[in-house]
Structure 1
Amino acid sequence: MKEDTDKTIVEFNNEAARLYGHVFDQFENSVRNIERNNEENVFQMRVSKFSLELKKQLEQHVKKILESSDSKMNEQLQAALSVKVSYYLRQFMQKCSAM
């Protein structure tokens, strides 16, 4: 059962990395012409918008995984995947702040 959980987490990471890259590319395109010195509020609104979009997509993927997984694994999987979602959101925020 641990192997199934580990495999599911690896599969989630693969999809999460793809989603992260896609959402970050969209974010970069949306702020390309923004001058942060003059429009910090607009930049922060975009950060918020795209971080919420990433969170939504990651949580939808978690929900899909949990619906198709063995119910005995759900609690353990939910905890592990929740940590992963938080990780990707933190990385997104850090990368945005570094721009």
Structure 2
Amino acid sequence: MENDKEKAIVEFNNRGSKIFQQLYEQFSLSVQTLNRDHDDNVFQLQANKHLSTLDRRLNWLATELIGKYRVLNRIDSLNPIFNDRIKIMLREFHQKIRLF
């Protein structure tokens, strides 16, 4: 059972990282031609849009994996792990955006 829990965490990390990269690439393309001095409001709108999308997609992924691995007796133990990983990914995404 611990093995299934580890599989769920690894799958979340792998798929979550792909989602993270895709959305960061989309964000980069969407703000590539912006002048931050004149278009900061557009930049912030794009940043918030992509951050919100990342949050939504990671939560969907967590819900999907909890359903997939529901056979675990201690399925509730995945919730806090996924929530922590989502917070970490959102924080990283926000930091990358600020450095853009």
> Which bracket does the TM-score occupy, shorter chain normalised?
over 0.9
Q: Distance in 2 between matches of 1:80 and 1:18?
A: 18
Paired residues in the alignment total 99
The percentage of aligned residue pairs carrying the same residue is: 27
Q: Which residue is equivalent to 2:38?
A: 38
2:99 aligned partner, one-letter code: A
**Runs (5+) with no aligned partner, structure 1:** none
Q: Deviations over 1:5-36 (max 9, x none)?
A: 12211111000000000010100010011111
1:82 lines up with 2:83 in the alignment: yes
Q: Distance in 1 between matches of 2:32 and 2:40?
A: 13
Provide the secondary structure at the position in 2 that maps to 1:34.
Answer: coil
Q: Is the 8 A contact 2:5 2:72 kept in 1?
A: no
Q: Which residue is equivalent to 1:18?
A: 18
TM superposition score normalised by structure 2: 0.92
Instruction: Looking at secondary structure, tell me which structure has more helix per residue.
Output: 2
Tell me which moved more, 2-11 or 41-50: 2-11
Q: Distance in 2 between matches of 1:64 and 1:91?
A: 23
For the aligned residue pairs, the C-alpha RMSD in angstroms reads 1.1
Q: Deviations over 1:31-69 (max 9, x none)?
A: 011111111111111100000111111111111011121
**Runs (5+) with no aligned partner, structure 2:** none
